[in-house]
């Protein structure tokens, strides 16, 4: 779940996990189902399938890692024997074997985040919800947490919120973009990267020709020089000039060093999607304002036509 700060990601996750009741749930007949179970009507049963890590991990800093995780397992209704077994497996999955007896408050932020994830998965839930799981971590800690999230995805459904585009590219199979509390886009992360894509190539030539010569190749619509030897080539979607470029580079000794498809970054795609939505919303707002003004002016004209002038003493004149 992707979006700017304040887009509504955390609020949505709190509703999905039963921590926040939707305002219109009763009035509009809204429902949230977890593994086919209505969260609003059967909350205890539905929540048994959920593991949740809020943006601020719910840790008891004065407890040891082992004691806290056993406590979390028992809160989930696990028997003592099952909780002890789950503790061993969860510490191994989250890389916490070496810190089991340490006090949580003495751990680094990266390890505290691991403990937070461990409490969310110790009861082996089918759905794991992680709110900004890598916020505030250093690059090494981020890499480790992302690796753990990918591993969790092998056995559970993982929903995570983030505003970090690199996180989406690194761990997500599907992307939902939120803006102003609404979903404005949803697709696989691979398709998202192709959204509104431009057909083009990045080429490097050790002995480049004049731009006009490159622009004359069939199918090429424009050429932009990025550096002395590197060029951004745009072409028609139905004509790929790669073969022609390779042949001409060999014939004319351009010494081709690079030829790669042009691909938009996720940052560019995200900006394009949100900007398009903002533009549509602005047009809708302007249309709504115009309609209200027309309606107001019409009502005013009707009211004035019914009001006789009294200043001149004559009747029948419109004021």
Q: How many whole angstroms separate alpha carbon 262 and alpha carbon 280?
A: 28
More confident residue, 289 or 127: 127
Q: Based on the domain organization, do 133 and 230 belong to the same domain?
A: no
More confident residue, 50 or 135: 50
Domain at 59, CATH number: 3.40.50.300
Q: Based on the domain organization, do 114 and 204 belong to the same domain?
A: no
Q: Based on the domain organization, do 220 and 128 belong to the same domain?
A: no
pLDDT at 305 > cutoff 90: no
Q: Based on the domain organization, do 218 and 154 belong to the same domain?
A: no
More confident residue, 119 or 167: 119
Q: Based on the domain organization, do 21 and 149 belong to the same domain?
A: yes
Number of structural domains, the chain?
2
Q: What is the pLDDT of residue 311?
A: 47
Domain at 240, CATH number: 3.30.70
Q: Is residue 219 situated within a structural domain?
A: yes
Most confident of 103-112, 191-200, 266-275: 103-112
Segment 33-56 shows an average pLDDT of: 93
What does the DSSP assignment read for the chain?
A: -B--TTSSHHHHHHHHTTSS--TTHHHHT---EETTEETTTSHHHHHTTEEEE-SS----TTSBHHHHHHHHHHHTT--HHHHHHHHHHHHHHTT-GGGTTSBGGGS-HHHHHHHHHHHHHTT--SEEEEESTTTT--HHHHHHHHHHHHHHTTTSEEEEEBS-HHHHHHH-SEEEEEETTEEEEEEEHHHHHTTT---EEEEEESS---HHHHHTSTTEEEEEE-SSSEEEEEE-TT--THHHHHHHHHHTT--EEEEEE----HHHHHHHHHHHHHHHHHHHHHHHHHHHHHHHHHHHHHHHHT-B--SSS-SS-B-
Q: Based on the domain organization, do 154 and 204 belong to the same domain?
A: no
Q: Is residue 93 situated within a structural domain?
A: yes
Q: Based on the domain organization, do 134 and 205 belong to the same domain?
A: no
Q: Is residue 308 situated within a structural domain?
A: no
Residue at a domain's end among 162, 183, 209: 162
* Structural domain for 253, as ranges: 200-261
Q: What is the pLDDT of residue 206?
A: 93
Q: How many whole angstroms separate alpha carbon 162 and alpha carbon 145?
A: 13
- pTM beyond cutoff 0.75: no
Long-range contacts of 52-55 (CB under 8 A, 24+ apart): 52/13, 52/17, 52/19, 52/120, 52/128, 52/129, 52/131, 53/116, 53/117, 53/119, 53/120, 53/128, 53/129, 53/130, 53/131, 53/133, 54/19, 54/131, 55/10, 55/131, 55/132, 55/135
Q: Is residue 293 situated within a structural domain?
A: no
Q: Based on the domain organization, do 144 and 51 belong to the same domain?
A: yes
pLDDT at 30 > cutoff 90: no
Q: What is the pLDDT of residue 318?
A: 46
Q: How many whole angstroms separate alpha carbon 167 and alpha carbon 239?
A: 34
* pLDDT tens-digit readout, 58-101: 999 999 999 999 999 999 999 999 999 999 999 999 999 999 99
Q: Based on the domain organization, do 252 and 130 belong to the same domain?
A: no
* pLDDT tens-digit readout, 230-268: 998 988 878 889 999 999 999 999 999 999 888 777 787
Q: Based on the domain organization, do 155 and 205 belong to the same domain?
A: no
* pLDDT tens-digit readout, 122-178: 999 999 999 999 888 888 888 888 999 999 999 999 999 988 888 888 899 999 999
Q: How many whole angstroms separate alpha carbon 155 and alpha carbon 139?
A: 26
Q: Is residue 70 situated within a structural domain?
A: yes
Q: Based on the domain organization, do 41 and 115 belong to the same domain?
A: yes
Q: Is residue 216 situated within a structural domain?
A: yes
Q: Based on the domain organization, do 141 and 41 belong to the same domain?
A: yes
Q: Is residue 26 situated within a structural domain?
A: yes
pLDDT at 315 > cutoff 50: no
Q: Is residue 23 situated within a structural domain?
A: yes
């Amino acid at each position: 779940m992707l979006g700017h700060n304040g887009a509504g990601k955390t609020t949505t996750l709190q509703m999905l996990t039963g921590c926040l009741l939707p305002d219109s749930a009763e009035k509009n007949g809204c429902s949230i189902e977890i593994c086919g179970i209505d969260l609003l009507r059967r909350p205890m049963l539905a929540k048994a399938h959920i593991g949740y890590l809020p943006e601020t991990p719910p840790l008891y800093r004065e407890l040891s890692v082992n004691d806290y995780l056993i406590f979390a397992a028992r809160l989930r209704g696990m028997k003592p024997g099952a909780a002890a077994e789950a503790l061993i497996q969860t510490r191994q999955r989250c890389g916490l074997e070496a810190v089991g007896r340490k006090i949580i408050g003495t751990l680094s932020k990266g390890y505290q985040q691991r403990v937070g994830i461990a409490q969310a998965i110790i009861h082996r839930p089918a759905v794991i919800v992680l709110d900004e799981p890598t916020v505030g971590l250093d690059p090494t800690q981020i890499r480790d947490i992302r690796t753990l999230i990918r591993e969790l995805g092998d056995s559970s459904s993982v929903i995570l919120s983030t505003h970090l585009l690199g996180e989406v590219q690194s761990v997500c199979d599907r992307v939902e973009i939120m803006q102003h509390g609404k979903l404005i886009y949803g697709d696989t992360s691979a398709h998202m990267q192709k959204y509104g894509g431009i057909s083009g190539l990045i080429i490097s030539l050790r002995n480049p020709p004049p731009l006009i010569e490159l622009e004359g190749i069939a199918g090429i619509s424009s050429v932009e020089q990025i550096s002395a030897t590197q060029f951004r080539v745009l072409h028609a979607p139905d004509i790929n000039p790669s073969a022609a470029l390779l042949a001409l580079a060999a014939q004319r000794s351009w010494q081709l060093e690079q030829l790669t498809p042009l691909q938009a970054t996720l940052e560019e795609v995200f900006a394009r999607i949100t900007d398009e939505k903002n533009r549509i919303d602005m047009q809708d707002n302007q249309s709504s304002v115009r309609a209200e003004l027309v309606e107001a002016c019409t009502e005013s004209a009707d009211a004035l036509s019914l009001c006789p002038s009294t200043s001149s003493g004559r009747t029948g004149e419109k004021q």
